[in-house]
Structure 1
Amino acid sequence: MFGICNLSIVPLRFDASDASEMVSQVIFGEHFEIIEKTKKWSKIKLAFDGYEGYIDNKQYQEISDSLYKQLENEEKVYSGELIDFITDSDNNLTTIPIGARLPFYDKNSFHIHETEFKYEGKTSGKKLNKNAIVETAYLFLNSPYLWGGKTPFGIDCSGFTQTVYKLCGYNLLRDAKEQATQGEVLSFIEECEPGDLAFFDNEEGVITHVGIIMNDYNIIHAHGKVRIDKLDHSGIYNIDTQQHSHRLRVIKKMI
Structure 2
Amino acid sequence: MHHGICNLSIVPLRIEPNNSSEMISQLLFGEYFKILEIRKQWSKIRIAHDNYEGWVDNKQYEEITREIFDKLENSTPILAAELIDFATDKEQNFITVPIGSSLPFYNNQNLTINTRIFQYEGSIISQKLPKELIIETAFKYLNAPYLWGGKTPFGIDCSGFTQMVYKLCGYKLLRDASQQASQGEVLSFIEESEPGDLAFFDNNEGIITHVGIIMPDNYIIHAYGKVRVDRLDHSGIFNINSHKHTHKLRVIKKII
How does the TM-score come out when normalised to structure 1?
Answer: 0.99
Letter in 2 for 1:162: Q
Q: Deviations over 1:39-88 (max 9, x none)?
A: 10000000000000000000000000111100100100000000000101
Supply the AA of the counterpart residue of 1:150: K
Q: Report if aligned partners of 1:125, 1:168 keep a CA contact under 8 Å in 2.
A: no
Partner residue in 2 for 1:237 = 238
- Residues 188-219 of structure 1, C-alpha deviation per residue, up to 9 Å, x if partnerless? 11001000000000001000000000010000
SS of the residue aligned with 2:133? helix
Deviation at 1:110, TM superposition (A): 1.0
Q: Distance in 1 between matches of 2:155 and 2:234?
A: 29
| AA aligned opposite 1:254 | I
Residues 1-255 of structure 1: matches in 2 within 5 Å?
1-255=2-256
Post-superposition offset of 1:125:
4.1
Q: How many residues align?
A: 255
- Cα deviation, 1:175-194, whole Å, max 9, x if unaligned, reads 00000000111111100100
Change (3 A) 1:208 1:48: same
Q: Distance in 1 between matches of 2:141 and 2:186?
A: 26
C-alpha distance in structure 2 between counterparts of 1:146 and 1:249, whole Å: 23
Aligned partners of 1:156, 1:230: CA distance in 2, in Å? 19
SS in 1 for 2:247: strand
Structure 1 SS opposite 2:88: strand
The CA distance in 1 between the partners of 2:31 and 2:52, in whole Å, is 12
Q: Counterpart of 1:148 in 2: which secondary structure?
A: coil
Shift of 1:93: 0.8
Q: What TM-score comes out, normalization by structure 2 length?
A: 0.99
Task: For 1:77, give the aligned amino acid.
Answer: I
The residue identity in structure 2 corresponding to 1:120 is E
Unpaired segments of 5 or more residues in structure 1? none
Whether the aligned pair in 2 keeps the contact of 1:201 and 1:248 (CA below 8 Å) is yes
CA RMSD of aligned residues (A): 0.5
Tell me the secondary structure at the aligned position of residue 66 of structure 1: helix
Q: Distance in 2 between matches of 1:28 and 1:191?
A: 38
Give 3-state SS (helix, strand or coil) of 1:131's partner: helix
- Flag the 1:125–1:224 CA change in 2: closer, same or farther, 3 A: farther
